[in-house]
């Protein structure tokens, strides 16, 4: 029996995590390419309520990041974040995220949690 397109697409996601940020949700999906290589797909999803429409729609934007680019991407991201902090000083952070599963639980008191991009250095 032939699988439909959505089932094939879902099969290639090997690890996933979502980050809720106000009206947006960021999906961080580790996907498997046809050659069994892994890459990161970052999807921003924002809910939109169009006038005259009963059901909301979702605007989505995707970025594909390949392992050979992780270090440079991380370096660039850290650089621009440092720039924003240098211009604005300390700014208010969103409240701590709520883990979706026990495996994603927050670190113990005094234990520093390694950020997503710290994994790629």
Q: Compute the average pLDDT of residues 78-86.
A: 93
pTM reported for the whole predicted model: 0.63
Q: How confident is the model at residue 11 (pLDDT cuts 50, 70, 90)?
A: low
Question: How does pLDDT run across 21-72, given as a tens digit for each residue?
Answer: 888 899 999 999 988 999 999 999 998 877 877 888 889 999 999 999 999 9
Residue 116 has pLDDT above 90, yes or no: no
Domain 5-120 classification at class level: alpha beta
DSSP code per residue over 57-120: EEEEEEEEEEGGGHHHHHHHHHHHHHHHHHHH-S-PPPPPPPPSSGGGPPPPTTPPPPPGGGGG
């Amino acid at each position: 029996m032939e699988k439909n397109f959505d089932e094939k697409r879902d099969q290639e996601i090997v690890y996933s995590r979502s980050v809720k940020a106000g009206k947006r949700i960021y999906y961080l999906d580790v996907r498997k390419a046809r050659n069994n290589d892994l890459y990161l797909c970052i999807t921003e999803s924002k809910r939109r309520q169009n006038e005259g429409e009963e059901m909301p729609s979702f605007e989505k934007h995707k970025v594909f990041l390949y392992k050979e680019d992780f270090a440079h991407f991380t370096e660039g991201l850290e650089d621009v974040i440092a720039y924003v902090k240098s211009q604005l000083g300390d700014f208010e952070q969103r409240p701590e995220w709520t883990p979706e599963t026990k495996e994603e639980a927050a670190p113990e008191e005094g234990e520093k949690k390694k950020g997503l991009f710290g994994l790629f250095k």
